[in-house]
Amino acid sequence: MKRRDILKSAGLALAGTTLLPLSALANTSTADEKEKNTKSKVGKRKLGSSLEVSSIGIGVQNMSRTYQTTIPNRKQMHQIIHAAYDNGVTFFDAAEAYGVHEVERILGEGVQPFRNKIKIATKFGWNIDQETEKRLPGLNSKPAHIVKVVDGMLKRLRTDHIDLLYQHRVDPDVPIEDVVGTIKDLIQQGKVLHYGLSEPGVQTVQRAHKEHPITAIQNEYSLLWRGPEKSILPLCKELGIGFVCWSPLGVGFLTGAIDEQTRFAQGDIRGIETRFSPENIKNNLAILKLLNEWSIKKQATSTQISLAWLLAQEPWIVPIPGTTQMEHMLENIGADKVKFSKNELSEFTNQLNAIQVMGERLPPFVQVFSDVEAPMKK
Active site residues: 98
Alpha helix positions (H), the chain: 10-15, 31-39, 74-86, 102-110, 143-157, 176-188, 202-211, 232-239, 278-284, 286-298, 302-313, 326-333, 342-353, 364-367
Q: Is the Cβ–Cβ distance between 16 and 328 less than 8 Å? A: no
249 Rama sector, left if φ>0, alpha if ψ -120 to 50, beta otherwise: alpha
| Residues 313-333 as b or e (16 or more Cβ within 10 Å = b) | beebbbbbbbbbebebbbbbb
Cα separation, 7 vs 375, whole angstroms: 52
146 residue type, one letter = I
φ/ψ (deg, to 5) at 66: -80, 170
Q: Is the Cβ–Cβ distance between 43 and 52 less than 8 Å? A: no
Cα separation, 248 vs 105, whole angstroms: 24
Single out the residue of 54, 39, 68, 99 nearest to residue 332, CA to CA: 54
